[in-house]
Amino acid sequence: MSDEQHQNLAIIGHVDHGKSTLVGRLLYETGSVPEHVIEQHKEEAEEKGKGGFEFAYVMDNLAEERERGVTIDIAHQEFSTDAYDFTIVDCPGHRDFVKNMITGASQADNAVLVVAADDGVQPQTQEHVFLARTLGIGELIVAVNKMDLVDYSESDYKQTVEEVKDLLNQVRFDTENASFIPISAFEGDNIAEESDNTGWYDGDILLTALNNLPAPEPPTDAPLRLPIQDVYTISGIGTVPVGRVETGILNTGDNVSFQPSDVAGEVKTVEMHHEEVPKAEPGDNVGFNVRGVGKDDIRRGDVCGPAEDPPSVAETFQAQIVVMQHPSVITEGYTPVFHAHTAQVACTVESIDKKIDPSSGEVAEENPDFIQNGDAAVVTVRPQKPLSIEPSSEIPELGSFAIRDMGQTIAAGKVLSVNER
């Protein structure tokens, strides 16, 4: 990988509209997947009676995904343009797997919305656009796919573009932040080269549009936040917490604080890939040793930050959530498990403050008695054990969460404000 700027890109859209095929094509065109691998996938797809899925198989690695020809879990892949190293997050379109799409979208800076020209806007096109907006996606590139199936017709393209614009207006997504491109992921039109089949189109091809996306806010502006994944004892070194730097810089010699355990010390050594390094940056997975901090003083779910600007610990916090799948209704007093960074803490929904109209983003009801599937709401939440979490507007990396109960993801959300302990 080059030392270009990094960004996470979600690929969203209705089932079968060609998301995985598009990602496979992008990886192929940028040289990230060699031709012989596509050939192997082609043979396997044909054996399974899934001819045409050779590009999708680059992303769909699970046996069940290949048999059914659908994406189930989110998959990550890397490719580069001149400006960026992209991590692509390929989301499933099938409605049963929307919870996986939420996880994918909450990790993304920008997104490509894939809409098939022969099928137009469909339920999960709407749902994904709504979630992308709720979870704070910046720009949207709308890829009008399968242009080969409509004979590269300009009027079919324009009709799809109009449908998508209506949808974006409904959810108040600024259409200034959206661009539209006619493509065929399968045939390779307007992906890496201008297509001869769309002479009527004079906009950017997909790779150019990706290259021109705005840069994500540099995460180094925020103070150090390093959620702890595990704590080891290593002979000769002592206590070694490990985790991924989400924001800021970890330097040897820094005075750091672990919250909510509330212990502090000086960083003696930082190790990455079994080598000692002087500092670690966002995205780096590190192990480090802190003078005076014992193995039982800190734990998974703690967040490490500067001693002079320690991670926030919430007494309560206010959040915007979207309810995805709950068997009945959510009322005040509901106490599911919140998954935020590496922490899992039972939290009580203390009050349901507002219900938001998903189609306008405006307040639909103050203090509703309950919320249910499909609802977006502002809620006040009280963690049952100390939890370190940050407002999404200040440190987005530490400001989103999933809510799980009964073995499934019920809802996802972003922290609006934290009432500190």
Ligand X SMILES: Nc1nc2c(ncn2[C@@H]2O[C@H](COP(=O)(O)OP(=O)(O)OP(=O)(O)O)[C@@H](O)[C@H]2O)c(=O)[nH]1
The stretch among 64-72, 104-112, 166-174, 208-216 that binds Mg ion (CB under 5 A) is 64-72
Between CA 98 and CA 224 the distance in angstroms is 32
Which of 218, 288, 275, 278 is closest to 248 using CA atoms?
218
Choose the one of Mg ion, ligand X, none that binds residue 17, judging by a C-beta under 5 to 8 angstroms depending on kind.
ligand X
What character string, x for contact with ligand X (CB under 6 A) and - otherwise, covers 172-211?
------------xxx-------------------------
Residue least distant from ligand X (Cβ): 93
Q: Is there binding between residue 19 and Mg ion (CB under 5 A)? A: yes
Q: In the complex with ligand X, which residue's Cβ is closer, 146 or 341?
A: 146
Count of residues in the chain: 421
Number of residues that bind ligand X (CB under 6 A): 24
Q: Is 90 annotated as a binding residue?
A: yes
DSSP letter, residue 247: B
Peptide bond into 278 cis (omega under 30): no
Q: Is 147 annotated as a binding residue?
A: yes
Q: Is there binding between residue 261 and Mg ion (CB under 5 A)? A: no
Q: In the complex with ligand X, which residue's Cβ is closer, 108 or 222?
A: 108
Q: Least distance in Å: CB of 177 to ligand X?
A: 22
Choose the one of ligand X, Mg ion, none that binds residue 412, judging by a C-beta under 5 to 8 angstroms depending on kind.
none
Q: In the complex with ligand X, which residue's Cβ is closer, 6 or 25?
A: 25
Q: Least distance in Å: CB of 259 to Mg ion?
A: 39
Collect all residues with Cβ–Cβ distance below 8 Å to 49 and sequence separation of at least 6.
none
Q: Is 347 annotated as a binding residue?
A: no
Q: Least distance in Å: CB of 60 to ligand X?
A: 7
Between CA 319 and CA 372 the distance in angstroms is 16
- Which of 27, 28, 54, 71 binds Mg ion (CB under 5 A)? It is 71
Give the footprint of ligand X on residues 46-105 (CB under 6 A). 52-53, 56, 69-71, 92-94
Q: Is 265 annotated as a binding residue?
A: no
C-alpha count within 13 angstroms, C-beta hemisphere, residue 247: 25
Q: Strand 343-356 vs strand 363-366: parallel, antiparallel, or unpaired?
A: antiparallel
Between CA 259 and CA 70 the distance in angstroms is 41
From the CB of residue 253, how many other CB atoms can be counted at a distance below 10 Å?
A: 9
Report how far apart the first and last C-alpha atoms of the chain are (Å, whole number): 42
Single-letter code of the amino acid located at 359: S
Q: Least distance in Å: CB of 188 to ligand X?
A: 9
Between CA 57 and CA 66 the distance in angstroms is 7
What character string, x for contact with ligand X (CB under 6 A) and - otherwise, covers 242-271?
------------------------------
Which of 409, 327, 336 is closest to 379 using CA atoms?
336
- Run of H or E including 158: helix 154-170
Residue 242 burial by Cβ neighbours in a 10 Å radius (0-12, 13-18, 19+): middle
Q: In the complex with Mg ion, which residue's Cβ is closer, 124 or 312?
A: 124
Q: Least distance in Å: CB of 40 to ligand X?
A: 16
Q: Which residues would be at the binding site for Mg ion (CB under 5 A)?
A: 19-20, 71
Binding residues for Mg(2+) are: 20
